[in-house]
Amino acid sequence: MYNFTIPSQLKAWIDRILVAGKTFKYDANGPQGLAGNKRVIVAISRGGYYGAGTPAASMEHLETYLRGVFAFIGITSPEFIIADGIQVGPEHREKALAGALQAATSLRAA
């Protein structure tokens, strides 16, 4: 997370993969995703905590944005590996990284 959302490098990638006629199209029913056959795994890390009920939850525009972007192109169930609180302190960082590694290990095989 950079400044509550995605880093600009990732935004540049998104600008290249959301292409009308390739990964989405508009028809009489509105936008239709054309990339629904892809599996997407997103690993995110955040310096602080942004989960439901936290004081900063309303500033979470990273995971929510990515879920919206992928849904727009037809990927409605992206899998997220999350490490939160990595700049809060060493113990938070260790716990976050261990949890994320465990979650990554538990991903089902494609």
Ligand X SMILES: Cc1cc2nc3c(=O)[nH]c(=O)nc-3n(C[C@H](O)[C@H](O)[C@H](O)COP(=O)(O)O)c2cc1C
Binding residues for ligand X (CB under 6 A):
1-4, 45-48, 86-87
Report, in Å, the least distance between residue 64 CB and ligand X.
14
Q: What would the DSSP string read from start to end of 81-97?
A: EEEE-TTT-HHHHHHHH
Neighbouring CB atoms inside 10 A of 15's CB total 9
C-beta nearest to ligand X: residue: 47
Closer Cβ to ligand X, 1 or 73, answer by number:
1
**Smallest gap from residue 100 Cβ to ligand X (A):** 10
Give the integer Cα–Cα distance in Å for 23 and 28: 17
Residue 67 or 74: the one with the smaller Cβ distance to ligand X is 67
Q: Which is nearer to ligand X, 1 or 81 (CB)?
A: 1
Q: CA–CA distance from 61 to each of 3, 7, 53 (Å)? A: 9, 11, 15
